[in-house]
Each structure stands twice: as C-alpha cells, then as structure tokens.
Amino acid sequence: MSHRGVGLAEGVSPLLLWALAGLLAIWFVLLLVEGRLRHAPLWVALSGLVTALLMGAAVLRPSLVTTRGTELFPKVVVLVDRSWRMRLGDGTTTREQVSLDTVRRLQSHLKAARVEVLGFGEGAAKPMPLAEASAGHRPTDSDLTAALRALGEAPGERPKAVVVVSDGRLTSPTDSSAPEAMRALGERIGAPIHTLRVADTSPPDASIRRAATAGAAVAHQKLALQLQVGCSGGLACDELPVTVEELLHGEPPSLLAQGSAKIRDGSATIELPFTLDRAGRRLVRVRLQAPAGDRVPENDVRILTFDVTRERVRVLHVAGRPTYDVRALRMWLKADESIDLIAFFILRTNSDATQTSDDAELSLIPFPVDELFTEHLPSFDAVILQDIDAVEYKLERHLPALARYVRAGGGLIMVGGPSAFMGGGYAGSPLSDVLPAVLPQQGAPFDTAPFEPRTTDAGRAAPTLRGVRELFGDQLPKMQGMNTLGAVRPGSIVLWEHPERRAGNAAMPVLSLGESGDGRSIALAVDGTHLLEWSELSERGAGRAYGALWEGLVGWLMRDPRFESARIELTHECRAGAPVELSVTRLPGAAVDVKVTLLPLGAGAEQPGPAAPMPDKQLRMEASVETITVALGVLTEGGYSATVRIGSAPPARFDFACERGGLAFADSRPDPALLERLARETKGVSLKADDVESLSAPPATRVAAERVTTPLLPAWLWALAAAASLGGHWYLRRRAGLV
C-alpha cells in the first residue's frame, strides 16, 4: 500500500515555518493597507502577493513525498473466565461452552485484528488454546483485577482493546468496587475494556453461598460457623434445614450441629456453633436440604477443611504405681509448656497399710475413673496408660469408650510394666484392637530377662527416633524385662524389637506405632525408658535422650509435622470428576519404595464416594528425588485420607476434601450489571455473547516501510522566480507612482 503527499525541505523547523508565515501575512496586510490608502491598482497588490508566495517557496522548497508501507491490525486481548464456576449451565449448555463458542465467533468476526486469547482466574492470565480449553486445572476465583494488572505490567505491545468473556460473578472487581477503581483498570491497560456476557439469568438454585468462621479453629473450643444461604432463579424457598457433620476415618460421620435457614428476600444467615475435639486437618461437611426444583445440587453440600490447632496438648497420664519411670515421664511432661497435664497415680492399693486412723491424715483422693473416662475423655488429646491394671482399678469397663476415643482421633500410649498389656487385663479387650501389636491371651504376661532393644530399619528411618539416634546411634540402655506382645498389626510399624524373643515369625515388638481410625497409638513394652536419662549410657547424651524420645513419641502421636516421614499436599484443589494429584516430599535419603493408600472418610455412611478402598499406588523414589507427584485419578465427592509410606518409615497421613462445586459454585447467579459497569467506566461496550458480531475492531496502525521525496522544482529555480517576481513587483510599483 502506498500514499502520496507534499513535504517541505529538510531542516525546516516548525518555528521557521511559523515565522515565515507571519512575515508573509504582515507583508500581505501592508499591501492591502497601502492599496486602500493610496488607491493603488489591483495588479500591484496581486504581484506583491505572488512575490511573497514565491519567496516563501524559495525558502521552504516544497517537494512531493511518496510513502510505501503496511497497515498493522490492532492487537485485541480476549480474557476468558476460566473459573470452575463456568461449568454451571442452564441444563443444555454450560457457561464455559457459551464462552468458548463466543471466543470462536469473535475470532472469525475480528478478522482485521490480531486476537490473543488468555484465560483468567487466579493471578496473571495464561494463554488458552481453544483446542485444549476443557483440559487442565480450573481455578476457583475469577480475579479479573489481577489479570488486568499483570497484562498492564507485561512488556511488549499494548493491546488496543480488551474483551472480557464472563458471567460477571467476578472475585475482583465486585459490584461494590468504586468507579475510580474500575476506570483505573482501563487506564492501566490504556485501552477500552469491552465485556461479553455469557449468562444473564440465574438458574433456580438454593445454595450455601458463604461459609465462614470467626477466628481460627482451636481444639475443644466452640467455633461458630456462619452460613449464608441463598435462593435465586425463582425457586420457592422458605425454611431450609442445614446439618453439619465431621467426616471421620472408618466411622460414620459425626453430627456436630444442625439448624434451619429461614429465607427472606432470597437469602438467610445462620450461625451454627460446634466443637472440634481433635487437632489437625478435620473435614466438616455442611449439607443444605434444597427444595424441589433446585437445578444446581452441586452447591447444596460444602466440605470444609479446618486446620484445628491446640492451645496446649492436653494429656491424661494415668500410672498404676509411682516408679522412677513414672517420675521421669511426669517431669518431662510437666517441663513442656505446650502440654497441659492431667495426672492420676495410684499411690495406695487395697493391701497397703497406711497406719492411719483416719483418711483425713492422707492426701489421697479417689481415682475418678468413671468421671475421667466418660465425661472428660473427649477433652484429652492423648492418654498415657502407664503400668496400670485395668481390672483392679475399674478401667476395664471404659476400655470400649477408650477404643472409640482412639478411632475418633485421640492418641494413646501404653507404657509397659507388670500391670500393662496382658498383665493389666487388656488382652482381648476392645482397647487391644487399637494397639499396634496383638496382645496374646495366654502365657506369661512379662519376662524379666535383661536385654538391649534393637533398633529396626523402620526405627532408623523414623523421624520419631531421630533425636535419640543422634545421641546414642543404635545403642540403647539395657532394659530389665518387657511385656509379652504378639505380632504387630497390619499397617503398624516396629521401631524397637527384642533381640531374642519372638512373636510368631518376627521379633517381639518393644516399641511399635500404629494408626486406628483417625487416631494413633503407641505400644512401649518396657518400663525403663527413664534409663535414657539415668544410666551410665545416658552420660553420652547428657541426659537429653529421654526428652528426645518422648518428644518424638508424643509429637508423632499428635501429628507434629516434624515427626512425620513425609509432607503431603494436593497439587491443586480436589474437584469431583477432575484428575487429582498429590505432592509427596520426603526427607533426603536413599532410594525407597513409596506406597500410597487412599481411603474415603465417613465409610459406612450414605455418601456418593467410593465405598471400598481404592487400589494402592506403588512408586519408587530415587536417592536424588525429594518430591514426587502421585496421580490419584478421578474422585467422586467426599472426604479422603491418603496414607503415604516412604520405605519402612511410619506412614504419614493427609486428609482432604473433594467437592463437586466448592466455593466456585457457591453463588450461581450471573452478574451482567457488573460487566456493563466495567465496560462503561473503561469506555468499552458491553454486549450479550449472542451479539458478539456487533463489536467493532479498533483502527489499524499504519507502518511505513519506504519514503521517497521528489522536489517540485530545483532550489535555484525557486530563487530565480522569487527574484524575478520581486523585480517585476518593484517595476509595477514605480509605474503606479509608489516608492
């Protein structure tokens, strides 16, 4: 494409041009004034005007300019809302399908523009090939502000226009954003923002629009869950029941709270207080009973994840008799400021003769066994039973409740001694089912032959024993006997074993760890761990090994991340029906096998998730690899518990929720008004998606490739003509009698 025009000589500045124009204008005015005052003939004035123009041309030397080049199509950025919410639809088509169709039509309509399609959701917008539009992770948010900010800061060519394709239910800006903030978005880009609305009407829907708590979740402390329930799209809502349940491992969901939302003007707010007793990641399912006609059932259920913290770990320490081992444990527990210790020691048996006439001379109190193991049991994070006879001290009848407590997420440590394990009447009890090792029901309950426990491979790999091993290596103090235990239960781990005694085909476990339901348990079949502090060996660790052992044991019991063998997290939010991946990070070490087991939470209850365990995943981690990604496949809605075993180390567990709609579906109403406002404030236009062809492209930019300058006349000829004209003008003036 070429273009012709007239130019001036090089070096002619605008100042010179204006100065020359001014002089010529003055000359012409003087000529007119002179003609009037002296009645000069017209041809004198005309010759003067010609002379002035020729003199101007002699200075400016006009030339013919021919330009050859191209017209560059304008850059148009299309920002497509990629939120999971765009999967909402009207029953026949989803908002995502409408948006993709709109983008295709826009691309074919804006032929005279360079269209770049980006998907936005969280952070900067990313290129979105339409062919792969349905693949990949979808964000929960629709953060248009972040996308525009990143676009404005990106280097390179700025777009001439931005087109937003969305339903308007944006995370940012929102309908409460100020007009100035909206205008600033367009100014940042330097281009108008047009909006294409993919949905204008709300589906008939009752939903949990918002679920929030005031403050963090702390174990044993009441937490108020505030729910905003909405009803839209013409759905008839009055009073909608709401239930709140905790999803547990291997047990039906536990009801935490229930209530009803009274809908007024399309929404209601309801507060449901409840208490979570166990710390760590807890999954809470909130279920709204929607009325008939609800077209979006995905947002009737939310599965919330609470990271429940503890103010202090509340430990119940019960000992059957005071010994140096009891003393050491009590002093360690009392010295730890993060532990709230409740202790009961049996100081007198029925056969003891206190030599008193009145119990008032004694400081003893009755062992409140019934009160402790009924009313107060849920308030404890961990229970330590140290060498206490369950039968003699009437603990036996509470063992079923104690087993349930462990399965519900409590921690249990049984510490050895003559009255522990078999010797305390625990064999065959419900509590024995949650211990990591089987308790034989026949044979001697304990053996008093001295031995040095042997650390197993799992013990060497377990972070639980890291502190002890750093001080003592594989060496341990000699114990003066141990309780008789059977083989470890499947899934449990042995950290110390007896060098000679056997339990079935394996060495008898001395220290073993196990998981049962949501809880963890430890079986320590000796009563001499205080020798880690008080023995000739302890000198090597300056007495610190005892604290290191118990810090590891209680830490593992309470799922302290420092004592877990792996850190597990989701690579992104789990969505029902979409592929899920786990990221597993281990401590540096040798190549190991990794086994991942996935179980649904709340088994046995009515839930759409799989009822049976999913097949285990087996992987290999090479020595140089610290993090791997494990594909879990496509899951259905529900809570899940992933257990990862790294080599022989104790397993680490990670509970997570998989939702159908999640926060993204919480509010199904589109917001066309917001898109109209955004377009208006940024000098763009807002159109329905159907009217995409009405959108006009910005003007093209011309880019010059070649410029040819041809003088109209040679410079000397302009000068000669100006001089001749000046001479002619002088001659005519003389003839007219002018000077």
| Whole-number Å distance between alpha carbons of 164 and 142 | 11
Q: What sign results for the dihedral spanned by CA atoms 381, 386, 390, 395?
A: negative
Q: Which is nearer to other proteins, 173 or 417 (CB)?
A: 417
The angle formed by the CA atoms of residues 255, 260 and 265, to the nearest 5 degrees, is 150
CB of 371 to other proteins, least distance (A): 11
Q: Which is nearer to other proteins, 21 or 335 (CB)?
A: 335
| Terminal-residue alpha carbon distance, the chain | 55
| Whole-number Å distance between alpha carbons of 106 and 115 | 9
Strands 493-503 and 454-455: antiparallel
Q: What radius of gyration, in Å, describes the C-alpha atoms of the chain?
A: 42
Q: Which is nearer to other proteins, 392 or 626 (CB)?
A: 392
With beta carbons less than 8 A apart as the criterion, state whether 541 and 472 touch. Answer: yes
| Whole-number Å distance between alpha carbons of 597 and 651 | 10
Give burial (CB, 10 Å; 0-12/13-18/19+) of 716: exposed
CB of 359 to other proteins, least distance (A): 8
Q: Nearest CA to 346 among 369, 372, 319, 325?
A: 319
With beta carbons less than 8 A apart as the criterion, state whether 659 and 574 touch. Answer: yes
CB of 380 to other proteins, least distance (A): 13
The DSSP 8-state label assigned to residue 22 in this structure reads: H
CB of 462 to other proteins, least distance (A): 24
CB of 341 to other proteins, least distance (A): 8
Q: Nearest CA to 607 among 205, 225, 256, 251?
A: 251
Q: Which is nearer to other proteins, 456 or 483 (CB)?
A: 483
Q: Which is nearer to other proteins, 280 or 320 (CB)?
A: 320
Give me 25's structure tokens: 């204008």
With beta carbons less than 8 A apart as the criterion, state whether 487 and 502 touch. Answer: no
| Whole-number Å distance between alpha carbons of 513 and 384 | 14
| Whole-number Å distance between alpha carbons of 405 and 411 | 8
With beta carbons less than 8 A apart as the criterion, state whether 438 and 469 touch. Answer: no
| Whole-number Å distance between alpha carbons of 553 and 550 | 5
CB of 557 to other proteins, least distance (A): 22
CB of 422 to other proteins, least distance (A): 13
Q: Which is nearer to other proteins, 343 or 578 (CB)?
A: 343
Q: Which is nearer to other proteins, 341 or 635 (CB)?
A: 341
CB of 323 to other proteins, least distance (A): 3
| Whole-number Å distance between alpha carbons of 8 and 59 | 9
- In angstroms, the Cα distances linking 132 to 25, 83, 100, 102, 129 are 68, 15, 11, 16, 6
Q: Which is nearer to other proteins, 446 or 656 (CB)?
A: 446
- Range 491-494, long-range pairs (CB < 8 A, 24+ positions): 491/515, 491/651, 492/436, 492/437, 493/436, 493/458, 493/462, 493/648, 493/649, 493/650, 493/651, 494/456, 494/458, 494/459
3-state secondary structure 232-293: ECCCCCCEEEEEEEEECCCCCCEEEEEEEEECECCEEEEEEEEECCCCEEEEEEEEECCCCC
Number of C-alpha atoms within 13 angstroms, CB side, residue 365?
Answer: 6
CB of 326 to other proteins, least distance (A): 7
Identify the helix (H) or strand (E) that includes residue 76: strand 75-81
CB of 473 to other proteins, least distance (A): 20
CB of 531 to other proteins, least distance (A): 7
With beta carbons less than 8 A apart as the criterion, state whether 203 and 298 touch. Answer: no
| Whole-number Å distance between alpha carbons of 660 and 575 | 6
Q: Which is nearer to other proteins, 387 or 637 (CB)?
A: 387
Q: How far is CA 544 from the centre of its chain?
A: 39
In three-state secondary structure terms, 518 is: coil
CB of 521 to other proteins, least distance (A): 21
CB of 139 to other proteins, least distance (A): 51
Q: Which is nearer to other proteins, 234 or 322 (CB)?
A: 322
| Whole-number Å distance between alpha carbons of 130 and 127 | 9
Q: Which is nearer to other proteins, 65 or 342 (CB)?
A: 342
| Whole-number Å distance between alpha carbons of 601 and 461 | 28
Q: Which is nearer to other proteins, 196 or 482 (CB)?
A: 482
Cis peptide before 173 (omega within 30 of 0): yes
Binding site for other proteins (CB under 8 A): 320-328, 330-331, 334, 341-349, 352-356, 358, 360-365, 387, 416-418, 446, 448, 450, 479-482, 526-528, 530-531, 533-536, 538-539, 543
CB of 366 to other proteins, least distance (A): 9
CB of 496 to other proteins, least distance (A): 15
Q: Which is nearer to other proteins, 241 or 322 (CB)?
A: 322
Q: Which is nearer to other proteins, 118 or 468 (CB)?
A: 468
CB of 467 to other proteins, least distance (A): 18
CB of 315 to other proteins, least distance (A): 12
Q: Which is nearer to other proteins, 467 or 528 (CB)?
A: 528
The amino acid that residue 618 corresponds to is Q
CB of 522 to other proteins, least distance (A): 18
Give burial (CB, 10 Å; 0-12/13-18/19+) of 638: buried
Q: Which is nearer to other proteins, 122 or 387 (CB)?
A: 387
Q: Which is nearer to other proteins, 37 or 360 (CB)?
A: 360
In three-state secondary structure terms, 216 is: coil
Q: Which is nearer to other proteins, 173 or 424 (CB)?
A: 424
| Whole-number Å distance between alpha carbons of 16 and 60 | 9
